[in-house]
Structure 1
């Protein structure tokens, strides 16, 4: 029984070392050294090649090395092949760190102060207390909940929105399309941590921005497909939004003439919100393999009809 990894060389060697030490019964192979294809039962990658199930006829599980699986063409995969997203605690930690950095930077007017530094302008601005700053999270999965829990001690007024009803202590929760406008009206700072599905593609659009308070701010930690880029540029130009922190784009890296590169009201980072680390993800992955071997449901196994 073989597990085939398609990851960068350094990470691949780290995975191989961990399996050799802790699970020597699992034959871990590193792409493109696939060995006998019929022996491959498990495949792990950020984005698998096409026709994977045809190349490996006995494939049973595909593990995403990411928290989402929107980069997979689920329609191409036979129903019997299970798809599992990565629940690496290191991913949650990275997202929490980024969310706190971005929220606190916007809350304390760091974009303005950095611009003042460039302009050699020494000027103090009135501080808005955290209790008067409303922070909302779209997407209340494990990453959204972890981010809200990390932000709670600062004293922000917290809210969250999801497709279905949730109950999170200390967080005003909204759900469904009917409650989305009310949620957005409570967001001085909006964080997107939604999975990318047909329903959420383009959700960060002009209607969303117009439903937010004038001068609100956006943090996109979800996927590039959530954001309608020209709508963001229009919202920033009109002052409906005052700043955006963008970690994900449709096209990565963006072209040299992409307007986000030099926009004065956008901070752009190269999809570094979180990365899967073999050291923190190994226990989760091995536990899932053992559960599958025992005929049990794996943690992070997606529902095909929902896409997550």
Structure 2
């Protein structure tokens, strides 16, 4: 009996080690702290863990694996299997994605942002672009339109934006430059210190980021309706890691994307409710721009920057006009 028990114990232990060895854990590099911007990844982990009975899980690291601007590099060498990136942090590394950061392209809500992002992510040029980094696009992190939190006198006209130092990346930064502002591309985690030390006068973020990075804590005014554009921050995967998944693991991952995005959008709904309360509590002045001011901003930024972007892409052998048309077609289809 003792011998049989010993054999049973050894077998059970061996099975345990085998099970552990067969389990798949992906390291995921994000930054900051858990917030609305990362909730789809958290939900994705919850779903795939349940679907695989713990056989496939995500180890989500908030800044412990890489800084935000180097996540794509980390993916390329297999330092981790999944990451969030923002196209505007390194436009030269992912030029095709920057079409989604062009100013005033007309996206009105997160559902439309999901539609246009997915359309671009599936475009052969974007797929090829990311393959240079051994990366694959998994899902968007749909971001609301950016608006400013600033310090000092409210910049409530374009004329007052002349000389304003603003934390803004990608196409949004270019847009502000057209009206005389001075954009800088410090990362989100550096924004509070940049504002506090006077390096910038204002920061362009979506509401969740103004809350998460506390810029609203020291800001004195908020631009409620400028809506110059947004940034595009997809979740990407290491291609080799994805191809190494079992069929069941890959199905668990792919089948969880839509539910993860739906959860993300629902979380953002709660952020919107909280935002107005926080503005009132902090005594932040809300600036609402006159329609003629927004029209002037669009005239200065939208068409010239788009045309310049298309010409630049064409010069690099990238189908710029085709990518822009993909965005517009997806937007029209989403509205139908």
Greater share of residues in strand = 1
Quick check: which has more Rg, 1 or 2? 2
Greater share of residues in helix = 2
The answer, yes or no, to whether TM exceeds 0.5 is: no
TM-score (normalised: structure 2) = 0.30
Using CA pairs under 8 Å that are at least 6 residues apart, name the structure with larger relative contact order, 1 or 2: 2
TM-score (normalised: structure 1) = 0.32
